[in-house]
Structure 1
């Protein structure tokens, strides 16, 4: 193991084409978007197919996985040896058009999870809305497997989906097994490190890029739906300071909205900072600027540090529960 002096590690986004995407991430991130509809920016990813790479400093060019293999204790602290990979995947989503009606398996539904993968519980923080914004989360009361199958046959699955009009700042928790989709919103998403999605319906549309409909996984989706997940709405933030806006067995998200100096990070554990508005400075052994769209990993070895805002700054801080 090398003797490494850690600093706040910045990771540039990894953009993803999605037929339901748009161009709104141009206003949130500074890195140029590729042509076409961009639906996702992967902000911190320890996945082989899309690996986050350090942007600056002495560790520039290292992937997140390389950092963990080089010095897991320095990055993960008290969580060293607990995970095979970094356990969370962070994204921005531009849901310009409606996503497919989908569901993710839980960790316990191993028959639907490839070897080495995990289930997928996730959460969203709404950053932008528009007039026709809509979030579908959970089923309507009384929905059964039989009634849901009938609605699929009639191409009217929406009649069994609970929906609400979101507003900026809403947080929504999507437990694995919860049927869901989004339309007309930009959100921050935190999830288990998994890329397993089962599409129940894709609104009978065609992908302009391929000229074909996207494949569905109806059998798997129906098997993984938790029919007790009904009428899911926004989460009430905790009264703590800073407030906890999302909490689960897999992740905790705090929201900082400050004009004065404040503390981020934790003793012997990694934290991730996602700046959604404003700018300022991270004061550490190597001071660095943080601005809208920036994503920084604070390695466990760093512990806590200070953010000095330049006016109002809003930061989502993501941690791993003990």
Structure 2
């Protein structure tokens, strides 16, 4: 007999990164591995090498991969026919130092994507900034393949990158094909379920663990760059007409995302479709089948389609990110 499905929380998966730091321990309750710079916490991941595990309840220890095998239609509802794997990957990033200058392929660039994988469109929401915070998003107008290649050789790549100083709460959309990097910030990231990244430039540094520079993929990166993606800044939030006390930050073919700030009870989730909730400030609780489910700062919760909407009661004030998956056309 199958376990019954319920609101699902997951254990974060910490990732060593050369550019990481230690700030994620203030955001998440799970202790960081000792000493290493931790750049990423994967909070919902259906990847073969890093599959998220349920943290509470009867299904504790079960991976999202196994859940998608056993409960795909309960989780995905009417989208169950379209997705064998969970289609999004969610992370917190601690960009203590600058990331490599990089680009991701689009879904239709199949020759650059591992079999069974997708391209990678992503978006960031800035959680914390510091004195050296900077987001590089898109090229400067007039950048060509030729002068960008020249800049790699003469170490002046940043001269061709559009950049700005972010502030807390900024939301930035990074379409596949966009050259990008960031530094000095903690961000939440939502992206397609892909781990395909091509490094264009890595600031001539060495990895402290290997003593060697990290590998670049200049030819593949160049092939995937959309030179029309220029001068990208923070998006302008739009007040939601369907969710109380919410603003819509992103709405594209891969994900929709709302930011909800509320001191009073509200309906979380959407009818007949899966919804992901990420608490970024405060805490709250929901009742489902006579059981109380809490969500605290730094936690992610998946509401399966079969559950639909639940009343969320904040303890004082809560700030919640709510993510939906658009139907495939």
TM norm structure 2? 0.96
In the alignment, is the contact (CA less than 8 A) between 2:3 and 2:59 conserved in 1? no
* Cα separation, 2, equivalents of 1:136 and 1:107: 23
Which whole-Å deviations, capped at 9, do the CAs of 1:54-99 have from their partners, x for residues lacking one?
1111111111111111121101101101012100000000000000
1:305 to 283, 286, 310: 310
Aligned partner of 1:243 in structure 2 is 247
Aligned position for 2:148:
148
Distance 2:69 2:56 in 1: 19
Divergent runs of 4+, >4 A: none
Note if contact 1:284-1:306 (Cα within 8 Å) is conserved in structure 2: no
Partner of residue 290, structure 1: 295
1:192 shift after superposition:
0.3
Distance 2:120 2:206 in 1: 26
Cα distance, 1:4 vs structure 2: 4.7
Matches within 5 A, 1:4-153: 4-35=3-34, 36-153=36-153
Distance in 2 between the 1:279 and 1:84 partners? 32
Unaligned ranges ≥5, structure 1: none
Q: CA deviation at 1:103?
A: 0.1
Please give the alpha-carbon distance, in whole angstroms, between the structure 2 residues aligned to 1:176 and 1:7.
Answer: 34
User: Secondary structure of 1:212's partner?
Assistant: coil
The CA distance in 1 between the partners of 2:2 and 2:155, in whole Å, is 59
Specify the alignment match of 1:182 in structure 2.
Answer: 182
CA contact (8 A) 1:278 1:313 kept: yes
What corresponds to 2:273 in structure 1? 269
Once residues 56 and 316 of structure 1 are traced to their aligned partners in structure 2, the CA distance between those partners, rounded to angstroms, is 21
The whole-number CA distance in structure 1 between the counterparts of 2:214 and 2:312 is 44
Matched residue, 1:258: 262
2:172 and 2:16 mapped to 1: Cα distance?
24
Shift, 1:3, TM fit: 5.3
Count residues with an aligned counterpart.
321
Secondary structure (helix, strand or coil) at the match of 2:29 reads: coil
What secondary structure, in the 3-state scheme, does the structure 2 residue paired with 1:313 have?
strand
